[in-house]
Structure 1
């Protein structure tokens, strides 16, 4: 009873304390309050991930607020545990904000670990990628793409069925083991939505059938595809998140020439979400951080790191994305058909794919 009462009390206080700009708090007042707190504590934000290094520096330069960075290499679960472990702590080990995988948003809300806040650009965030009450909201996403060594592959595949071409014998790899790695699992899931298939409930089964056919045909290479294996020619086509594929393409510097393709169908998006801790020691700095991240400036910062910002369609529609940056990306309309599976849909298909890969596809993926 005491625990439940505490959670209810924290939730109630959070609602009162986290009034968004829409509730009357002006930006000038928020900036002043955040500067008075003087610090923001983040966690699990590597500088080479999604452009976070430049984003953090941009925030500090714009507002003159120090950023205390906890454990850049932490995972989503670690972030949640950090909130739990520091409920009564206002010191430097208590995170103000988190950036976690989609499934952690709803579960953290249910545990009373988050406080609601709706940024001023709230209406431009797709409804399917945010909590209606503002407890968590999508920040950026990737879609499954094909990274293609065009020195070897002359007819670049444009959609999933193209991977079955005779020209791609011993060519196609996943960027992970689909029995355990989310990137690979989502690759199988996306294949299951390709062509005229559109039933998310059956995508896991259909994806396994597709990879069984790919394997039987001899096109599937049962190793974990990486930039090195692409360059060596052992995996001329790798199925990976577009932000990884685009980064690998840049690392290769044209040796070999590589192209990143978002398939015409079966475009599946993997979303990360932002949230403010219910126990944030610096709640106003946390709100200001969110305003910065969801501003045009912050969203383009993520895009520079090849993570598609959640407001991408809105930015593209209004001509806000620099031309030189757009030139580095697949065409903007390639993302228009992106499917954003719910947590429940992801979990259901993950169960099917990870447990039935061996029996249906029968390919032992080597590291």
Structure 2
């Protein structure tokens, strides 16, 4: 993940760290003190089995002695944005300091004035195409849309999107979220449409909606949010979700049931997520320290252990 240039940031333990410059080693000491004085970081929508976040959160708490208040782990990107809006004047436990959202939500949140700029020490190693030039949002990791399959029930895994329409998959296929708010589900619809439209990006959105309309009419779509529990129980034996989530489920379930993770032959979509700090963060210094942690080698390797492909590079 990230390495390199550290530019001096004048920080004080008593003053809000407002600069968007790249942090230097000595100013990091001030940032740590300021964050510890705040004592708490409030996150939202970070399931422990998503991209290794459970271990990352525990590592952050152990390293800095800061409490992490975790809001609504199963929320979608849209829910995170709404949480910022709803808590603009709230400095209590329901106001998120940081968000982890789908790529499209970064620019829109900036346009609405919901996030604040901050450039981590390893800023230069994040690709320009995956970050806002002013530091309002920045890519963290990405995955590829996949089919997660319960092999105890589904003897022959689908190989491509069109296979999901087959009668043998009746009452089996689910999305891993609500496509009205969850980036993972939105991306699943887009990927299906990309396949159905022959790779035409301009037509993928409408084609995806039509694909799922047909899937529902054929009785193959299950209107339940797909997770590891309904997968194991057989309620949703085929789930459309990011590969890293499917691989994490495979590890957690330990062969009960056997889980197959399939990258479809067409309509292959990789989805980048981005980090940002709320413009109304009750704990702005803890938020910035959290970003420094995530974009350090330690944090980036933590994401890698969670099967996520990093958006930056490590020094080791």
TM-score category of the 2 structures, normalised to the smaller one: 0.7 to 0.9
Give the secondary structure class of the aligned counterpart of 1:187. Answer: helix
**CA shift for structure 1 position 240:** 2.5
**CA shift for structure 1 position 243:** 3.9
Asked if 2 retains the 8 angstrom alpha-carbon contact of 1:70 and 1:93, the reply is: no
- Number of residues paired by the alignment? 291
Asked if 2 retains the 8 angstrom alpha-carbon contact of 1:170 and 1:235, the reply is: no
RMSD over aligned Cα atoms? 3.7
Give the secondary structure class of the aligned counterpart of 1:265. Answer: coil
**CA shift for structure 1 position 76:** 0.3
User: Hey, what does 1:81 align to over in structure 2?
Assistant: 85
Any residues of structure 2 matched to 1:205-220 within 5 Å, and which?
A: 205-211=206-212, 220=220
Give the secondary structure class of the aligned counterpart of 2:199. Answer: coil
Any residues of structure 2 matched to 1:89-128 within 5 Å, and which?
A: 95-128=96-129
**Larger Rg computed on CA atoms:** 1
Any residues of structure 2 matched to 1:349-360 within 5 Å, and which?
A: none
User: Hey, what does 1:130 align to over in structure 2?
Assistant: 131
TM-score under structure 2 normalisation?
0.73
Asked if 1 retains the 8 angstrom alpha-carbon contact of 2:44 and 2:96, the reply is: no
The structure that is helix-richer by fraction is 1
Structure 1 unpaired stretches of 5+? 1-15, 321-367
Whole-Å separation in 1 of the counterparts to 2:286 and 2:205:
42
- The 10-residue stretch of structure 1 (227-236 or 239-248) with the greater mean CA deviation from structure 2: 227-236
1:159–1:136 Cα change, 3 Å: same
Any residues of structure 2 matched to 1:155-166 within 5 Å, and which?
A: 155-163=156-164
User: Hey, what does 2:250 align to over in structure 1?
Assistant: 249
Asked if 2 retains the 8 angstrom alpha-carbon contact of 1:115 and 1:135, the reply is: yes
User: Hey, what does 2:8 align to over in structure 1?
Assistant: none
User: Hey, what does 2:263 align to over in structure 1?
Assistant: 262
Greater relative contact order (Cα < 8 A, sep 6+): 2
Asked if 1 retains the 8 angstrom alpha-carbon contact of 2:84 and 2:278, the reply is: no
Cα offsets for 1:286-342 (capped at 9, x unmatched):
33321210122212323444554433xx46xx8x6xxxxxxxxxxxxxxxxxxxxxx
Asked if 2 retains the 8 angstrom alpha-carbon contact of 1:163 and 1:214, the reply is: yes
1:215–1:78 Cα change, 3 Å: closer
Alignment of 1:173 with 2:173, yes or no, is yes
TM-score under structure 1 normalisation?
0.64
User: Hey, what does 2:67 align to over in structure 1?
Assistant: 67
Whole-Å separation in 2 of the counterparts to 1:49 and 1:160:
26
User: Hey, what does 1:297 align to over in structure 2?
Assistant: 298
User: Hey, what does 2:32 align to over in structure 1?
Assistant: 34
- The 10-residue stretch of structure 1 (70-79 or 194-203) with the greater mean CA deviation from structure 2: 70-79
User: Hey, what does 2:144 align to over in structure 1?
Assistant: 143
